[in-house]
Amino acid sequence: MTNEASVHADDHSHDGDHSHSHAPVQQEGHPSYYEIMEIAVRELLVEKKLLGPGEIRRQIEVLDSRTPALGAKVVAKAWVDAAFKARLLENGRTACEEFGISFYDDTQLIVLENTEKIHNVIVCTLCSCYPRALLGLPPDWYKLKPYRARTVSEPRVVLAEFGTVIPDDVEVRVSDSTAMVRYLVLPLRPSGTEALTEEELAALVTRDAMIGVIMVKGPNEKEAP
Amino acid sequence: MRPESTENPASAAKVVFAEREIPIFRAGDIVRVAERSPVGHYRVPTYLRGKIGVVEAVIEPPGIDNEDESFGRNAGIKLHYYRVSFPMKSIWENYEDSSKDALHIEVFETWLQKEKP
């Protein structure tokens, strides 16, 4: 691994203000038990020709190309196009495929529509099932035990920790994805957005709103402290 | 093709469905989650064992039992998954928040039994 500090010195002059660190990017400390296991299994699979290294890199590229921006496009279109929204709620996977978003496995996608009466939030208590084909990799907190255990048993407390308070007369509906189905929350369209284009609407939709831990904020609303 | 019942509308072709093509539960059925403790991989969370819920929807098409699939047994019979809802208050004794709150989850056919209302 090259020493970043020495490469950096050759790259450009040091005339201007220099506020970033020159510490080299290095692996610190000993790899963990699971890191060692992952490296060992991967290298064995390649050595035994069960997988090619190119296949592994390709799958990383597949997942890197999936981001919340794709989900946001789908949400924005559902907000402006009632017929698309109906198709999306009927079959999430085929509606996403209309956008050219391929699903590389056998999972189905169920889109959960938030309404004035129902607020949806998704979790996987067993592991970290998540609509990766659409949104890419889940955030770390989604994969860790506190979220996975508490969202099914005290969802409102968890939501409040994200700054989301749902009134008592609105159902908080927790979906535990343990089977072959993945979920996407279709958030409520915020008020005051009637004049926005589909692209402008998509820019409002964030990953956490499609998991259901926050609501989508309108263009003039401030972030919760 | 969604074989949702044994009766076909008059205009549809009259065919006999294979036994496992037809879901055994329908939306609205009251079901109880089994209380087995299987050795090895399981998908139905322990917090729902023995709980009573309502079938919200039948998931189509029939799917492989994901507990068997994890052991490499991915051929053979397929059955249905059902989306089942459970009121939060029925799962957790001490649930203090809104009585409207519910949990929804997909459960494989082999884990559910019909419960009399």
Interface check B82 vs A, CB under 8 A: no
Q: How far is A111 from chain B (nearest CA, A)?
A: 13
Interface check B103 vs A, CB under 8 A: yes
Residue of B nearest to A154 (CA): B95
How confident is the model over A73-116, as pLDDT tens digits?
A: 999 999 999 999 999 999 999 999 998 999 988 889 999 999 99
Residue of A nearest to B82 (CA): A179
Residue of B nearest to A183 (CA): B105
Interface check B52 vs A, CB under 8 A: no
Choice between A42 and B17, residue whose per-residue pLDDT is larger? A42
How confident is the model over B23-77, as pLDDT tens digits?
A: 999 999 999 999 998 888 889 999 999 999 999 999 988 888 888 888 888 777 7
pLDDT confidence of residue A160? 98
- Give the mean model confidence (pLDDT) for residues A142-158: 97
- Give the mean model confidence (pLDDT) for residues A115-140: 96
Reduced to 3 DSSP states, what percent helix, strand and coil does chain B have, rounded to the nearest 5?
15, 30, 55
Which residues in B lie closer than 8 A to residue A179 (C-beta atoms)?
43, 59, 63, 66, 81, 105-108
- Give the mean model confidence (pLDDT) for residues A147-163: 97
The residues of A annotated as belonging to the active site are: 124, 127-129
Contacts of A131 (CB under 8 A, 6+ apart): A71, A107, A109, A182, A183, A184
Backbone angles phi, psi at A222, to 5 degrees: -90, 155
The predicted model scores a pTM of: 0.84
**Helical segments of chain A, H only:** 4-11, 33-47, 53-64, 68-80, 82-90, 92-97, 132-135, 140-143, 145-153, 155-161, 198-204, 207-211
By Cβ distance, the residue of A154, A173, A179 closest to B106 is A179
Which residues in A lie closer than 8 A to residue B89 (C-beta atoms)?
none
Distance CA B22, CA B45 (A): 25
pLDDT confidence of residue A53? 85
Please choose, from the candidates A138, A73, A143, the residue with its C-alpha nearest in 3D space to the C-alpha of residue A101. Answer: A73
pLDDT band at A130, cuts 50/70/90? very high
pLDDT confidence of residue A2? 43
- Give the mean model confidence (pLDDT) for residues B88-94: 95
Which residues, numbered 5 to 44 in chain B, qualify as contacts with chain A under a Cβ-Cβ cut-off of 8 Å?
43-44
Interface check B61 vs A, CB under 8 A: no
Interface check B63 vs A, CB under 8 A: yes
Q: Is the pLDDT of residue A14 over 80?
A: no
